[in-house]
């Protein structure tokens, strides 16, 4: 092993992780706040049917962007860096995204027809631009993640979120209608790609090296399984929208999406922040199993503390959240939000497992588990549509619990971690979440005479303080690490 390879784990990865999470949180926080504002405005202005149609089309195309570069960007994080390899990744990304965009354009009339708006095929087709534009920004973004320069990812995420939200809101208020969401997505993807290249400023090397077959094979041998893993995870995350749209219509999609949006933004999106940090760090210590195991359990403690606490609090406060943000026309989203809050709580228990599989060179584990989950989930959700959109949400929660147990079993086997250690890692988060939820419920009832916004602010703050109090009492070491 070379001197350079031995020195790779030398940085204080705990400090790097904390700093990375902060920068990622700032980036995602700004982007998701913009998304929340645009969701509220668009949902109110467009109404459930129009908003449900365009939002579902946008969800579908954003799902495709996960595999737009055929996993080349993920391979860049895992493999040694070189200008030639970066150039090859850009070529693969452009080729893969262009092919996927062409397929999207071809099927867009069918998508529009299936969703009940056959005359909006051009609107759906325009979203193909998002696939190519997003792919253009993925390679330089991967370089920033590999180099652990998380602070330099902030401008690109800010540019995407603020541009997307600003354009969409401006156009819908100007009377452009459903097209406003489409142009918001396209402009946001363009802003992300441009700013990623500006912030990374990577060296591509001579153009003749971009088509090196050996480099392309190296990228694809790791990238394709990783991309398939991402595609399966995205399919699992979004198949419910497709099933609801096909069985119950676009109005039901809007109700479901409104119920999904807050838990998704406050919990699942935060896990994306962790993922952007944990994968490159796990990759750095992949050969040091004890260190990797300790890091994984610490990550699980932090992520489950956040996921369980916030998810449980949202479930309790959803009867206030939905009318306050979206209006009474979305009242049917309250039980959906409660069920999805349980879903994100269970998803918090699997956070980091797929990143672990990739980091130890076993992305196929995530692929196999993703296939199994999708095979189980599709018929279960189709059956659940008979009970309406709320039944679909509860089915999602039950499936998430089952696969949380399975995925943690596989992760523990890989690391040689006993179940007792896993249970200890989860014990304090479970207590903190229960205390926070109880506090939020009592506060919501006590402050019920106040405005909805005041109730949300007071109950949320009290729940957070109680969760921190539980952490201070039961796990001072973790609290100290989080505050340092």
**Percent of the chain scoring above 90 in pLDDT:** 28
What is the arithmetic mean of pLDDT over 12-25? 58
Q: Are 193 and 137 in contact (CB under 8 A)?
A: yes
Contacts of 477 (CB under 8 A, 6+ apart): none
How far is the C-alpha of 73 from the C-alpha of 226, rounded, in Å?
A: 10
State the pLDDT at residue 273. 66
Tokens of 145: 């993640």
Tokens of 3: 């001197």
**Alpha-carbon separation of residue 204 from 91, 93, 196 (angstroms):** 11, 14, 14
pLDDT in tens, 190-204: 999 999 999 888 777
How far is the C-alpha of 188 from the C-alpha of 166, rounded, in Å?
A: 9
Q: Which of 74-78, 330-334, 441-445 has the lowest mean pLDDT?
A: 74-78
pLDDT in tens, 252-262: 888 998 898 88
How far is the C-alpha of 127 from the C-alpha of 129, rounded, in Å?
A: 5
State the pLDDT at residue 118. 83
State the pLDDT at residue 32. 66
What is the arithmetic mean of pLDDT over 106-121? 85
pLDDT in tens, 410-433: 888 888 889 888 888 889 999 999
How far is the C-alpha of 233 from the C-alpha of 227, rounded, in Å?
A: 10
State the pLDDT at residue 3. 41
State the pLDDT at residue 142. 86
How far is the C-alpha of 316 from the C-alpha of 341, rounded, in Å?
A: 9
Q: Are 223 and 96 in contact (CB under 8 A)?
A: no
State the pLDDT at residue 2. 41
pLDDT in tens, 164-177: 888 999 998 898 88
State the pLDDT at residue 7. 44
Q: First CA to last CA across the chain, in angstroms?
A: 34
Give the best-scoring range by mean pLDDT among 10-14, 101-105, 111-115: 101-105
Helical ranges in 115-212 per DSSP H: 121-126, 128-146, 154-173, 179-200
- Phi, psi at 12, each rounded to 5°: -70, 90
């Amino acid at each position: 092993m070379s001197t350079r390879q031995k020195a790779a784990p030398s940085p204080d990865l705990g400090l790097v992780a904390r700093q990375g999470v902060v920068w990622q949180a700032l980036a995602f926080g700004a982007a998701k706040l913009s998304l929340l504002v645009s969701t509220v405005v668009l949902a109110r202005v467009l109404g459930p049917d129009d908003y449900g149609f365009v939002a579902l089309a946008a969800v579908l195309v954003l799902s495709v962007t996960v595999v737009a570069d055929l996993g080349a960007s993920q391979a860049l994080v895992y493999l040694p860096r070189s200008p030639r390899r970066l150039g090859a990744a850009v070529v693969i990304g452009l080729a893969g995204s262009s092919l996927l965009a062409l397929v999207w354009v071809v099927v867009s009339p069918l998508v529009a027809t299936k969703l009940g708006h056959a005359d909006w095929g051009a609107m759906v087709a325009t979203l193909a631009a998002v696939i190519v534009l997003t792919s253009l920004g993925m390679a330089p973004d991967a370089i920033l993640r590999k180099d652990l320069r998380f602070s330099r990812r902030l401008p690109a995420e800010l540019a995407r979120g603020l541009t997307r939200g600003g354009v969409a809101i401006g156009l819908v208020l100007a009377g452009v209608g459903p097209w406003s969401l489409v142009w918001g997505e396209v402009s946001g993807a363009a802003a992300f790609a441009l700013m990623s290249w500006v912030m990374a400023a990577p060296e591509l090397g001579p153009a003749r090296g971009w088509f090196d077959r050996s480099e392309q094979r190296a990228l694809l041998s790791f990238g394709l399984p990783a991309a398939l893993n991402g595609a399966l995870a995205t399919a699992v995350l979004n198949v419910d929208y497709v099933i609801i749209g096909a069985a119950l219509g676009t109005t039901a999609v809007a109700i479901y999406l409104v119920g999904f949006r807050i838990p998704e933004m406050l919990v699942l999106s935060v896990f994306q922040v962790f993922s952007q940090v944990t994968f490159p760090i796990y990759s750095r210590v992949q050969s040091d199993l004890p260190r990797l195991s300790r890091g994984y359990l610490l990550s699980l403690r932090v992520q489950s503390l956040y996921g369980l606490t916030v998810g449980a609090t949202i479930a309790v406060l959803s009867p206030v959240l939905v009318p306050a943000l979206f209006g009474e026309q979305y009242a049917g989203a309250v039980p959906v939000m409660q069920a999805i809050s349980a879903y994100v709580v269970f998803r918090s228990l699997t956070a980091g497992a797929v990143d672990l599989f990739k980091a130890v060179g076993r992305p196929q584990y995530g692929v196999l588990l993703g296939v199994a989950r999708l095979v189980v989930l599709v018929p279960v959700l189709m059956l659940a549509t008979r009970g309406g959109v709320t039944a679909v949400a509860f089915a999602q929660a039950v499936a998430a619990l089952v696969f949380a147990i399975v995925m943690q079993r596989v992760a523990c086997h890989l690391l040689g971690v006993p179940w007792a250690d896993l249970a200890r890692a989860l014990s304090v988060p479970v207590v903190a979440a229960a205390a926070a939820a109880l506090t939020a419920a009592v506060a919501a009832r006590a402050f019920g005479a106040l405005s909805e916004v005041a109730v949300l602010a007071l109950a949320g703050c009290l729940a957070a303080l109680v969760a921190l109090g539980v952490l201070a009492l039961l796990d001072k070491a973790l609290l100290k690490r989080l505050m340092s």
